[in-house]
A and B are shown apart, each in its own frame.
Chain A
Amino acid sequence: MTALGSGARAGLAYAALLVLLATASVLLGSSGLSSAEVLEGSLSMLGLREPLERNAQAIVELRVWRATCTLGVGAALALSGGLIQGMFRNALASPSLIGVTGGASLGAAFAILIVGGYAPRLVLEAGTGLDAWLVPLFSFVMALATTALVALIASSRGRASVTTLLLVGIAVNMCVAGAFAAIQYLTLEEWEVSRAILAWTFGTLDDRNGLHCLTVFVGLGVAALAVPFVARELDLLKGGEEDAEALGVDVARTKRIALVAAALAASAAVAVAGQIAFVGLVVPHLVRLFGAQSYRQLLWHTLPAGAAFLLGADVLQRWILGDGALQPGVMMSVVGGPFFLFLLVRSRREVSTW
Chain B
Amino acid sequence: MFLIPLLSAAWRPWGVLAPCALALGLSACSRVEEASAGAGGRPERIVAASATAVDLVVTLAGLERMVGVPAQALEYSVLHEGRPEPRAIARFEAYLAEPVLALRPDLVVIDPWQAPETTAQLRATGILVLTLPSVRNFSDARQALVVAGDALKDAELSARALADFDRRLEALRARSRQRELRGLAYSNFGGAGSTAGRDTTIDALFEVLGIENQIAQRGTVGHAGISFEDLLALDPDLILVSEPLRMGEGPSGDRGGAAERILRGEPSLAGLRAVREERIVTLPAWLFATGSHELVTAAEELARRVGQLEARLAERQAR
Contact = CB atoms under 8 A, between A and B. Distances in A.
A189 B255 CA distance: 15
A96 to B, nearest CB: 19
Interface string A47-74: 0000000110111011100000000000
A196 interface: yes
B271 A54 contact: yes
Contact of B191 (A57, A108, A128): A108
A206 B229 contact: yes
Nearest to A60: B229
B190 A117 contact: no
Interface stretch (A29-37, A217-225, A237-245, A278-286): A29-37
Given A112-B191, A115-B190, A62 B229 contact: yes
Interface string B240-267: 0010110000001111111001100111
B233 interface: yes
Given A55-B235, A131-B265, A207-B193, A29 B258 contact: no
A63 B232 CA distance: 12
Contacts of A200: 191-192
B187 interface: yes
Contacts of B193: 207
B90 interface: no
Nearest to A33: B233
Nearest to A111: B190
A192 interface: yes
A206 to B, nearest CB: 4
B229 A63 contact: yes
B110 to A, nearest CB: 13
Nearest to B269: A58
Interface stretch (A5-13, A118-126, A258-266, A298-306): A118-126
A206 B191 CA distance: 10
Nearest to A204: B192
Interface string A5-31: 000000000000000000000000111
A58 B189 contact: no
B85 interface: no
Interface in A101-122: 108, 111-112, 115-121
Contacts of A62: 227-229, 232, 268
B94 interface: yes
A196 B233 contact: no
A132 B271 contact: no
A199 interface: yes
Given A58-B271, A118-B252, A190-B72, A31 B190 contact: no
Contacts, number: 127
A151 interface: no
B129 interface: no
A192 B242 CA distance: 11
Interface residues of A, number: 47
A55 B253 contact: no
A135 B190 contact: yes
B190 A134 contact: yes
Contacts of B72: 189-190
B155 to A, nearest CB: 32
A124 B94 contact: no
Contacts of A197: 191
B230 interface: yes
B261 A131 contact: yes
B233 A192 contact: no
Given A112-B191, A192-B289, A121 B268 contact: no
Contacts of A129: 261, 265
B113 to A, nearest CB: 9
Nearest to A134: B190
Contact of A132 (B94, B190, B253): B190
B70 interface: yes
A188 interface: yes
A31 B232 contact: yes
Contacts of A120: 252-253
B235 A131 contact: no
Nearest to A191: B289
A55 B256 contact: no
Contact of A117 (B188, B252, B266): B252
Given A58-B232, A192-B187, A206-B227, A117 B192 contact: no
Contacts of A133: 190
Given A31-B232, A63-B229, A196 B255 contact: no
B209 to A, nearest CB: 22
A121 B194 contact: no
Contacts of A55: 232-233, 235, 271-272
B225 interface: yes
A57 B270 CA distance: 12
Contacts of B229: 29-31, 59, 62-63, 206-207
B315 to A, nearest CB: 24
Interface in A265-307: 274
Contacts of A63: 229
Contacts of A196: 187-192, 194
B233 A209 contact: no
A193 interface: yes
28 contacts: A30-B227, A30-B229, A30-B233, A55-B233, A55-B271, A61-B268, A62-B232, A116-B189, A116-B255, A116-B258, A117-B244, A117-B257, A121-B253, A124-B253, A128-B261, A131-B265, A132-B265, A133-B190, A134-B190, A192-B256, A192-B289, A196-B188, A196-B192, A199-B192, A199-B194, A200-B192, A207-B268, A274-B191
Interface of A: 29-32, 54-55, 57-59, 61-63, 108, 111-112, 115-121, 124, 128-129, 131-135, 188-193, 195-197, 199-200, 204, 206-207, 209, 274, 327
- Shortest 6 CB-CB distances between A and B: which pairs? A117-B255, A31-B233, A196-B189, A54-B271, A206-B227, A115-B190
